Structure 1
Amino acid sequence: MTLFLLFVLIFLLFILRQPAFVVLGVAVGYVYLFYGSGVLVDIAQDMFTALDQDILLAVPLFICAGSLMGQGTIAVRLIDVAKQLTGFVNGGLGVAGILSCALFAAISGSSVVTLLAIGSVLYPALVREGYPRKTALGILSSSGTLGVIVPPSIPLILYGLVTQTSVLDLFLAGVLPALLITAAMVVWVLYKCRNMPRTRWNTSELVLSLRRGTFAILMPVIILGGIYSGIFTATEAAGIAVLYALLVEGLVYRELSFALLRSVVKETVVLMGVVFPILALAVSLNQFLAYENIPQMFAAALMDFTETKATFLALVIVILLITGCVMDMTPAILLLAPLLTPIAMTMGVDPIHFGIIMVVSLEIGYLTPPMGLNLFVASSSFNEDFSTVVKGSFPFVCVMFLTLVLITFIPEISLLLVSGG
């Protein structure tokens, strides 16, 4: 029966190319029918329970805020500030792309939204400045992935939800790893683009861009400052982000229109129509796994092959990297986090640290075929060959893998701020 289920899932996913929630729905129904009580109404009850949580409101609200800024002018003003700060060094425009993505990701929490918002403005600029298309695509595709690790990160919210881990602690734990990945990307771009043109430092232009972008810069300060200081929760922060974006775009920059609002709402609803069914079904499956003690049984079997924590972590990285190649991050987290986190805790790994390892590992999957979400988004959005995007992103995959190793085996990188809090 298990082999038959595996065959059905592979057929649906890779041959018929059905959406992930369809494949997961078949899996959950099959498991309940043949291995559980056989009462399929239990699935509906579990799905309702999964979606009846306040923290889930943060996901569509952060996506909505990111879409508002990306389709408005906040993203453009953030880019202008970054360009003025880095333009005086060789490769400065490439560095501006990375920093802009990091800043924008600190508000939107989404990789795709970050890539589209920053890339649509910066990619033509990079090409005009003489950057090879392969390099420009690699910079934007890779730095766009910062949207899934820079707090407030939607994948971290989902991980916290399914593992009952503090989302605030996960946000704090993601700060230093995000800075490390960003810094590593900047160093690589400075080396790779050391012969690219630069502009003269212009204090008056910098002051002008700062003045124009004051409200855009204040947004991540307000949102992240409020979350980390405990003034408001992650869910409240998401609502404030949407309200702030509406006020700034509508009253300050006067770029808000009915057509823009309609486009933002449509984009948010479409994304949530993908995420929420997967989340609900995954939580239902997780309830069944917990009831049947599957994680404990899997842990016992896995520990026969991994006698040390280091060996376990190395094996987990391999599993997650392979998973990231064939599965989107959302279903991967929702399916694997409840299974692997109890094992990690048994091996002495902090669940918060393990959450960061999982998200960063799966983050690399955004840049690795055949799934490679950012690769496909960049290829279609910028009208470039998929192979060109892959080649441009490969050096950044290597950089990110090295930072992943550091984050995995030096837990203090993730836990320093949490411990300090």
Structure 2
Amino acid sequence: MILLITIFLASGEIIHSQLLKIGENTWQEYFLLRANQSEPTCERNRDIEADVARTIAEREANAADDPLAGLLGTDIDEDAIRRSLERSQEVCEGRWERYERVQSRITPAVMAFRSVETTVAMAVTELGGYKRLLLCLLLLICAATATLTRHHICLRPMRTTRDHYVSVIAQLVANVMLMVSAIIYREREMISMADGIQVNHFYLHVFWIAGFGLLAAINIWQLVRPPKDMEPGGSWGKAPLTIPLYTFMCLTAGTRFMLDGYYHGISVYLGMMMELSTLFLNLALYIWIGMMLKQTRLAQLVFNVFRPWNMSPELLCFVVLIVTAVPTAYTGASGIFVIAAGAVIYSELMRAGARPQMALATTAMSGSMGVVLRPCLLVVIIAALNNAVTTAELFSSGLKIFFLTAFLFFMYSQFARKETARIAPFGQALPASIKLLKPIVPYVIMIALVVLFFRFVLDRRLDEFSAPIILPVVLLAILIYEYLIVGKAKREENIRAAAEDGIERPKTFEHALRSATNETTGHIGALLMLMALSVSVGGIVERTGVMEALPATFPSIWLAMGLLVVTLVLIGMFMDPYGAVILVNATIAQIAFNNGIAPLHFWMVTLVAFELGYLTPPVALNHLLTRQVVGDDEVENAKLTHGSFWARYEKYLLPIAVMLSALLIVAFLPLAFDGLHDWLFQKVDVARQVIPLD
């Protein structure tokens, strides 16, 4: 319901605007018909002469009682009084005529339509002021679900009893710390209110306190009743690796804030996250989009199109990265797409004969190539936070960097190949591939119908701003097609085909939607908690003045770029993308600009550096998510104990080699060649689009 309300709020103003247009086109002067006008209070049939006489008598009486009347004069202009009353009567008559005209045109159809239109307007207005509450509820409900299902992101999953107790106790301490911080913050704001200071959204404190208290209660219950599927024993050295990353961030930030006497610091930075409630609600929608995509056969059908080409594993990996870049951009961020399609990608690559290490590397990278393409949410956030660049400029440069990264992957994968590159004859593969496109046609039609509906009925194009609204409707339409429109026999055939591919498909639309939403809940809880605490970690960096230790200007632009690149990669290694962007915008961006680095150049370097960080240990977020969807056992079985260093660690080394080469090229070559700089980071001369932050 929260996700659907978010979609409604995001499109509610457009829906209301279209309803007003329909009303005006259907009924002339609908703006008068939509309001419940009250009957005029003036007297319609007045006796003008009687009113003139009454007014003269009142003025004469007032003059008799006024001792200064003789000095000021007692003359009364009867004609002026009559003219004034006649004009007043004309105005009154006009009011009555308009009222009667409007009332005569209010038909049952008008009443029914305006009831819908005014209800939409009221809902948008009333609910629009509670986006922070929606995000707060979404985060806490999903965090509780992720805690119950042990779905938080960590370096390794819990397997043993010792893992369980170490992880849950650490979570309990962190959640109690969050609850205490929220309580102290509420008390501080109550003192501010008592001093006459205005405090906004004070009611949210109750929800934060109750939510973190619930998380702590879940941890206590888990300690009292540990799961029965845990293996006995365990290693003290490995157990801390099962502590969720958000817990490490919370303990680090909370401890630092307490040492500074800033006990409510974490809650203050959570409030800063609420200032970007619209963007984080959109992120939740993107996760829902990814999970609904996972419930469809669309990804499987697209892979089927490439099977007749019988490509060598390395070439197939390259094609997979090119194809998956677009859905990555449309699902908001790299990690979401890995969660949504990682299992299918890995199984298809293994079926084609790819090495397990290379299949894992490609699966982790499948979410990295498209983050610079339209309409990726991460790029929209950068443009929203920084006035120096626009989404059009970022996406224009991003497209060029995408092709550079793809070329680098192709080169590295070919150098590391274990067999001769191959591809089926064109005349043999093309007809078979075209034949396999036929099952995709209904999906294309469903997508086109939804996009055209938004374009011509709601006057909303599919772009980076409308994607979070339109894409959930697109995926709902696809699910309806798969589970309600296609025949029972075809549906059972799809389920059997999926089972042969090792994928379990729901049998009903309700089951598919519920499964997608259940998975969405856990992933939202895991990612939003990580992002929320990343903002607090960013607060530590701000308060400790680490960035202030960097000089405002450097002896050379090369040295400035080198230090910034190292810093950005380190941030990407330990923080989620959205929290990292907020931190970089607040602390590092201005240093880059002061040293002569163009804003567009800096932000493209930032995006590539972040992606390198997400693929680089010790955290390597994309690899953690790959492990989560592929399976811990599969990842463990893919490990090699013999062979070259590259072969044993290819799943890390291949992505690092590609993204590091891309980063060095994007960061430094444009500094050496002005022509390359101007081409790669070309300013787009278009009117800036306003991006609502809330």
Q: TM-score range by the shorter chain?
A: 0.7 to 0.9
1:271 matched residue in structure 2? 523
Provide the C-alpha distance between the structure 1 equivalents of 2:517 and 2:342, rounded to a whole number of angstroms.
21
C-alpha distance after superposition, 1:18-68 (max 9, x if no partner): 5444455556666766658x5839945961673454333321122211221
Task: Provide the secondary structure at the position in 1 that maps to 2:588.
Answer: helix
Tell me which amino acid in the other structure corresponds to 2:355: P
User: Which of 630, 635, 647 is residue 384 of structure 1 equivalent to?
Assistant: 635
Matched, 1:105 2:364: no
C-alpha distance after superposition, 1:306-339 (max 9, x if no partner): 3222211111222233344444444443434421
User: Which of 328, 348, 354 is residue 125 of structure 1 equivalent to?
Assistant: 348
CA 1:278–1:96: 2 relative to 1, 3 Å: closer
Alpha-carbon contact 1:123-1:140 (below 8 Å) kept: yes
C-alpha distance after superposition, 1:228-255 (max 9, x if no partner): xx94553421110111111123226757
User: Which of 224, 234, 240 is residue 464 of structure 2 equivalent to?
Assistant: 234
Alpha-carbon contact 2:534-2:575 (below 8 Å) kept: no
1:342 matched residue in structure 2? 590
User: Which of 387, 396, 406 is residue 655 of structure 2 equivalent to?
Assistant: 396
Alpha-carbon offset, residue 206 of structure 1:
2.4
Tell me which amino acid in the other structure corresponds to 2:280: L
CA 1:109–1:42: 2 relative to 1, 3 Å: closer
1:115 matched residue in structure 2? 338
Alpha-carbon contact 2:386-2:585 (below 8 Å) kept: yes
Alpha-carbon offset, residue 117 of structure 1:
4.2
Alpha-carbon offset, residue 373 of structure 1:
2.3
Task: Provide the secondary structure at the position in 2 that maps to 1:144.
Answer: coil
2:432 matched residue in structure 1? 205
Alpha-carbon offset, residue 394 of structure 1:
0.8
Calculate percent identity across the aligned residue pairs.
20
CA 1:199–1:191: 2 relative to 1, 3 Å: farther
- 1:255-270 matched pairs, under 5 angstroms: 257-270=509-522
1:178 matched residue in structure 2? 402
Matched, 1:405 2:685: no
CA 1:123–1:233: 2 relative to 1, 3 Å: closer
Alpha-carbon contact 1:105-1:111 (below 8 Å) kept: yes
Alpha-carbon contact 2:614-2:621 (below 8 Å) kept: yes
Gaps of 5+ in 2: 1-169, 175-238, 492-507, 641-647, 671-676, 688-694
CA 1:90–1:332: 2 relative to 1, 3 Å: closer
Tell me which amino acid in the other structure corresponds to 1:396: P
Task: Provide the secondary structure at the position in 1 that maps to 2:433.
Answer: helix
Matched, 1:366 2:614: yes
333-342 or 210-219, larger mean C-alpha shift: 210-219
TM-score normalised according to structure 1 size: 0.76
Matched, 1:375 2:623: yes
CA 1:416–1:167: 2 relative to 1, 3 Å: closer
1:142 matched residue in structure 2? 365
CA 1:315–1:265: 2 relative to 1, 3 Å: same
Alpha-carbon offset, residue 214 of structure 1:
4.1
CA 1:129–1:357: 2 relative to 1, 3 Å: same
- 1:11-160 matched pairs, under 5 angstroms: 18-25=243-250, 40=264, 43-44=267-268, 47=271, 50-51=274-275, 53-83=277-307, 87=310, 91-160=314-383
Tell me which amino acid in the other structure corresponds to 1:152: P
CA 1:141–1:204: 2 relative to 1, 3 Å: same
State the aligned residue count.
400
Alpha-carbon contact 2:370-2:402 (below 8 Å) kept: no
Alpha-carbon contact 1:139-1:393 (below 8 Å) kept: no
User: Which of 188, 191, 196 is residue 412 of structure 2 equivalent to?
Assistant: 188
Provide the C-alpha distance between the structure 1 equivalents of 2:622 and 2:266, rounded to a whole number of angstroms.
36
Tell me which amino acid in the other structure corresponds to 1:315: L
Alpha-carbon contact 1:105-1:147 (below 8 Å) kept: yes
CA 1:144–1:173: 2 relative to 1, 3 Å: same
CA 1:234–1:153: 2 relative to 1, 3 Å: closer
Alpha-carbon contact 1:46-1:284 (below 8 Å) kept: yes
Alpha-carbon contact 1:159-1:333 (below 8 Å) kept: yes
Tell me which amino acid in the other structure corresponds to 1:268: T
Provide the C-alpha distance between the structure 2 equivalents of 1:52 and 1:323, rounded to a whole number of angstroms.
21
Alpha-carbon offset, residue 401 of structure 1:
1.0
Q: Which has the higher helix share?
A: 1
TM-score normalised according to structure 2 size: 0.49
Gaps of 5+ in 1: 1-7
Tell me which amino acid in the other structure corresponds to 1:134: Q
Provide the C-alpha distance between the structure 1 equivalents of 2:576 and 2:532, rounded to a whole number of angstroms.
16
Tell me which amino acid in the other structure corresponds to 1:195: T
CA 1:51–1:278: 2 relative to 1, 3 Å: farther
Provide the C-alpha distance between the structure 2 equivalents of 1:310 and 1:211, rounded to a whole number of angstroms.
53
CA 1:44–1:130: 2 relative to 1, 3 Å: closer
CA 1:353–1:268: 2 relative to 1, 3 Å: farther
Provide the C-alpha distance between the structure 1 equivalents of 2:462 and 2:656, rounded to a whole number of angstroms.
35
Task: Provide the secondary structure at the position in 1 that maps to 2:550.
Answer: helix
